[in-house]
């Protein structure tokens, strides 16, 4: 079950293709405003067996999503959940962080963090006992990144939800992990002021001297979704060309 496909650039789309190639049947949750794009995409991946609207800001629609899923697929169980959802209102990026209002902060955290808990709650009756859930986070959860603002707080909360849910649901065999992706050009990333400069900086200074792409993240997701990672839960794994392992940027030394 994949939440977060909005376009061909979505990390969730690369993940869907990777999971489909590995033999998964896919069920997508899409946001209505991206409906026409998702409808075009679904024809490119025959492994997509169902797709239903969801707006995680409104818990009713999450419930309705699973009601629809059950109606169309009676008795079907879920092995893998991909949570690739993130959003913050414009003012979270445009205003000084001191003056972002509560409504905007709460909306960002409800959609980008608490939605993991909401989806898990509604998914529980449908989950096979050895299920694997993967969410997507960003390094700003732990270290300051300019302009990321309220989303940093949302990602910190998301990583905490991941650990909390992994510990609470682990006794029933469910695994939850987060992938902290390096910056990738997508619709969501387009909302972050100065994003291109971050891409350039990572390319220049990451150990692999490149940015990661959607396929890099999808590969790690497939591993976390599979039994190859059966002993891994509650973790945050960085897929970022090694950038998070560095402290002082190599570029300050100039060319050697």
Residue 124: DSSP 8-state: G
Among 2, 6, 153, 165, the residue binding ligand NAD under the rule CB under 6 A is 6
- Stretch in the footprint of ligand NAD (CB under 6 A) among 2-10, 168-176, 201-209, 228-236: 2-10
For the window 207-246, what string marks contact with ligand NAD as x by the rule CB under 6 A? ----------------------------------------
Q: CA torsion sign, 91 to 95 to 101 to 102?
A: positive
Q: Which residue has the tokens 């209002």?
A: 101
The minimum distance between CB 57 and ligand NAD, in angstroms, equals 4
- Nearer residue to ligand NAD within complex by CB, 11 or 224: 11
**Contact yes or no for 49/23 (Cβ under 8 A):** no
Q: Which residue is nearest to ligand NAD (CB)?
A: 86
Task: Tell which positions 170-189 bind ligand NAD, by CB under 6 A.
Answer: 181, 183-184, 186-189
Distance CA 222, CA 136 (A): 13
For position 149 contacting ligand NAD by CB under 6 A, the verdict is no
Paired with 52 in beta bridges are 29
Exposure string for 156-186, b = 16+ CB within 10 A, e = fewer: bbbbebbbebbeebeeeebbbbbbbbbbbeb
Q: Which residues make up the interface to ligand NAD (CB under 6 A)?
A: 4-7, 10-12, 31, 34, 54-57, 84-87, 111, 136-138, 181, 183-184, 186-189
Supply the residues annotated as catalytic. Answer: 138, 148
């Amino acid at each position: 079950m994949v939440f977060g496909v909005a376009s061909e650039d979505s990390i969730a789309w690369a993940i869907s293709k990777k999971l489909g190639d590995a033999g998964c049947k896919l069920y997508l949750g899409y946001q209505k405003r991206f409906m026409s794009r998702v409808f075009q995409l679904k024809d490119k991946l025959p492994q997509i067996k169902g797709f239903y609207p969801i707006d995680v800001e409104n818990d009713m629609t999450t419930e309705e999503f699973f009601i629809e899923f059950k109606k169309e697929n009676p008795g079907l169980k879920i092995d893998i959940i991909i949570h690739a959802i993130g959003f913050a209102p414009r003012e979270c990026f445009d205003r000084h962080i001191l003056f972002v209002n509560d409504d905007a902060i709460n909306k960002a955290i409800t959609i980008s963090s608490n939605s993991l808990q909401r989806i898990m709650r509604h998914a529980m009756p449908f989950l096979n006992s050895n299920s694997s859930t993967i969410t997507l986070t960003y390094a700003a959860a732990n270290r300051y990144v300019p302009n990321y603002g309220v989303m940093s707080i949302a990602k910190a909360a998301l990583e905490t939800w991941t650990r909390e849910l992994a510990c609470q649901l682990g006794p029933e065999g469910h695994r939850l992990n987060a992938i902290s992706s390096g910056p990738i050009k997508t619709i969501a990333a387009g909302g972050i002021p100065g994003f291109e400069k971050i891409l350039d900086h990572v390319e220049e200074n990451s150990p692999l001297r490149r940015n990661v792409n959607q396929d890099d993240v999808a590969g790690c997701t497939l591993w976390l979704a599979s039994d190859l990672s059966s002993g891994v839960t509650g973790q945050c794994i960085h897929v970022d060309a090694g950038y998070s392992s560095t402290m002082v940027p190599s570029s300050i030394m100039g060319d050697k």
